[in-house]
Amino acid sequence: MTTPLHCPACRAELPLGSAFCPACGNPSPTVISSERAAAAPTPTAPPTAQPTVERLARALGPKYQVKKLVGRGGFAEVYELWDVDLDRRLACKVLHPEIAWTPGMIARFRQEAKALARLQHPAILAIHFAGDGEGLVYYVMPFVEGESLADALRRRGMVSADDAFKICEPILQALAHAHAQGLVHRDIKPDNVMLEGKTGRALLVDFGIAKLLDPNAGGAKTATGFTVGTVQYMSPEQALGQADLDGRSDLYAFGAMLFQMVTGAPPYDGKSSAEIVGKHLADPIPVASDVNTKIPRWLSDVVLRCLAKKPEDRFQTADEVLAALQEGRASGSTRVVGAGSLERKVRRSRETRLQVRAWGWGGLAGVVVGALGLWYAGRQGYVGPPVVWAHNGLVEPAEILRNGRPVDTLAPDAMARLRVRPGAVAQVRWRLVRPGNPPLGEPMEGSMTLPPRTVGRRVWHLTAEAEGQRYFAPLITNTTPSDITLEVNPGTAAAVRCNCLVPRGAVRSHIGYYRLFANSGLAAYNAAHPYAGPHADRSDFATRVAPRSGVVVLTY
């Protein structure tokens, strides 16, 4: 009889296989595998005695040359090969040797190879062959010259609606094909979309944690207590460990990826996996067109439906999503007009006809143009009382305070229009909204100075300098095999632990803002062994901090 697990925070009973508590979002005490380790195939040398490159070369034989390591993920490493007989570049995916030898892990890896072999689609990388030897399990596939969508978004920030459609079309076609074969990808994210360098063609990769839905295939091979995926893109049902996932879970992840493509950030983010999952489960669905007003409304509506909390409220197939995108692209941007807007439009039209009869079209046009020009000039602050546009150049939200009371909150890179009475500039301040609960990082607050006009406008820039002190915001990517904790400014009087945990696989996690000095640095420690390490980063640290936002991107 299986003993039920309970949440260590709120004591609610946890569903079988759930990675997070459905009541409070706290991580559940799950394990990667409950299986006993099995003996590895007898290698010619102990698996840990020699580098993976050398062992892989012996396992593949003289027909293939192992060139170099080109990528590393949570489950596997990818090496570049050279096929000596056919003079071509190949890629070889190798399961991490330190976690390979449990029956479940080997079975899941071989399942991935079989699943890939079943898929025949131009937007899915084919598999040449799979094998094992020298204590390694691997499969070989074509080598793609290009970059991941994640790298492209880090370089460009976001893409246009047209470019997003060009990327999404083959990905949706690939998903439709995979779902028809009974295969759910379960890890749709920008890192698993490759863009070919020469053609820009999008390819869907890494079915390493896919789940076969075909009941004749033996069901899911995932071990009890093992939930896989990336929390920024994980559907609510996947986060709760539901066993009956279907293609609609992939469509949720696709919607989260598309949201990031057109806005520059995933729909939900936070300081921990539990916080992000909690937002997927309970927070309102963000509207992409509210974040980026340049994208058409039809595209925002497609993203909104993909991100529905319940699978039955989403698109039911990848073909439906593609059809909605194609229809919206063909029709152009459309906006919903409410009854009140229609009533005002009719009333203005009637008043306009009366004015036209009295003044004629020429006089009316002059009055309208003059009135619009005066209204615009006043709103922009070119004429009339001082108008200040506040721009948040930080990577965290900031509150605008008037007489110590919050009057507005600015999202990162957002602008707000403020009217400031003459002599009341000192009453306006700003305050950083620190991430996390309890808040991470150090408090940061600054006063407002009335900026000079630039091209007729006054723009007040919120930057990473407050009251004469510079600050920096580390964005942490954890590629180590364990969770890490961080110490800011180690070895100095300003040293402080972040009181945070950056899980392995996390990308650009926010840990708040900290004071910046000439000798500032950061040290990362293994979370399970807090004094193991550290991985320190101090060389030229201050010079790498972005002057306005204070951002410094660090990878461990």
Residue-level pLDDT at 215? 35
Give the pLDDT of residue 228.
54
Rounded mean pLDDT, 498-510 = 84
What percent of the chain is predicted at pLDDT more than 70? 69
Number of helical (H) and strand (E) elements in the chain, helices listed first: 12, 27
How do residues 353-364 score in pLDDT, each as one tens digit?
555 455 454 554
Token pair listed for 69: 């390591």
Q: What is the pLDDT of residues 40-66, one digit of tens each?
A: 344 344 444 578 888 889 999 999 999
* Residue 517 vs residue 3, higher pLDDT: 517
* pLDDT number for residue 78: 87
CB-based contact 478:508 (threshold 8 Å): no
In the chain, the largest separation of any two C-alpha atoms, in whole Å, equals 99
CB atoms within 10 A of CB 220: 18
Find the helix or strand (DSSP H, E) in which 117 lies: helix 103-118
Phi-psi bin for 354: left (phi > 0), alpha (psi -120 to 50), beta?
A: alpha
Average of per-residue pLDDT across 132-154? 84
Average pLDDT score over residue span 129-144:
83
Residue 244 annotated as catalytic? no
Q: Please answer whether residues 76 and 94 qualify as being in contact, where contact means their C-beta atoms are separated by less than 8 angstroms.
A: yes
The CA–CA distances, whole Å, from 450 to 113, 526, 530 equal: 63, 47, 47
Residue 31 has pLDDT above 90, yes or no: no
Dihedral angle, C-alpha 465, 469, 470, 475, nearest 10 °? -90
Q: How many degrees, rounded to 5, is the angle at CA 430 between CA 429 and CA 431?
A: 130
Q: Which stretch of DSSP H or E encloses residue 342?
A: helix 339-380
CA gap 433, 414 in Å, rounded? 14
More confident residue, 280 or 117: 280
Give 205-254 pLDDT, tens digit per residue. Answer: 876 554 433 333 443 333 333 345 678 898 998 888 777 788 999 999 99
User: The tokens of 457 are what?
Assistant: 């406008």
Alpha-carbon gap, residue 237 to 478, rounded angstroms: 25
Among candidate residues 508, 491, 509, the one with its CA nearest the CA of residue 500 = 509
Boundaries of every domain in the chain? 52-142, 150-331, 337-375, 387-462, 469-555
Q: How far apart are CA 296 and CA 162, in angstroms?
A: 10
Whose structure tokens read 């919206």?
328
- Choose the catalytic residue: 132, 187, 191, 537: 187
Give the number of residues written for the chain.
556
CATH architecture under which domain 52-142 falls: 2-Layer Sandwich (3.30)
Asked whether the CA dihedral 334, 286, 235, 476 is positive or negative, the reply is positive
Strands 484-488 and 496-497: antiparallel
Give the highest mean pLDDT range of 371-375, 422-426, 502-506: 502-506
Distance between CA atoms of 140 and 89, rounded to whole angstroms?
A: 11
List CB contacts of 415: < 8 A, sequence separation 6 or more. Answer: 389, 390, 391, 392, 459
CB atoms closer than 10 angstroms to residue 51: 10
3-state secondary structure of 521: coil
What pLDDT band is residue 262 in, cutting at 50, 70 and 90?
very high
| Dihedral of the alpha carbons of 255, 257, 258, 261, in degrees to the nearest 10 | 160
Tell me what pLDDT residue 375 has. 46
- Provide the Cα torsion 295, 296, 300, 305; round to 10°: -150
| Angstrom distance (rounded) from CA 146 to CA 454 | 41
Residue 33 pLDDT more than 60?
no
Coil, strand or helix: which one is 540?
Answer: coil
Structure-block tokens of residue 359: 């003044």
Asked if 95 contacts 229 with a C-beta cutoff of 8 angstroms, the reply is no
CA–CA distances in Å: residue 497 to residues 352, 451, 504, 524, 540: 66, 36, 18, 10, 21
> What mean pLDDT value characterizes the chain?
75
36 three-state secondary structure: coil
Helix (H/G/I), strand (E/B), else coil: 130: strand
Contacts of 342 (CB under 8 A, 6+ apart): none
Tokens of 544: 């790498």
Fold of the 150-331 domain:
Transferase(Phosphotransferase); domain 1 (1.10.510)
Q: What is the mean pLDDT of residues 360-380?
A: 49
Grade residue 170 by pLDDT with cuts at 50, 70 and 90: very high
Report d(CA 266, CA 268) in Å as an integer: 6
pLDDT at residue 325, rounded to an integer: 92
pLDDT computed for residue 314 by the predictor: 92
The DSSP 8-state label assigned to residue 538 in this structure reads -
**Is 46 exposed, middle or buried (CB count within 10 Å of its CB: 0-12, 13-18, 19+)?**
exposed
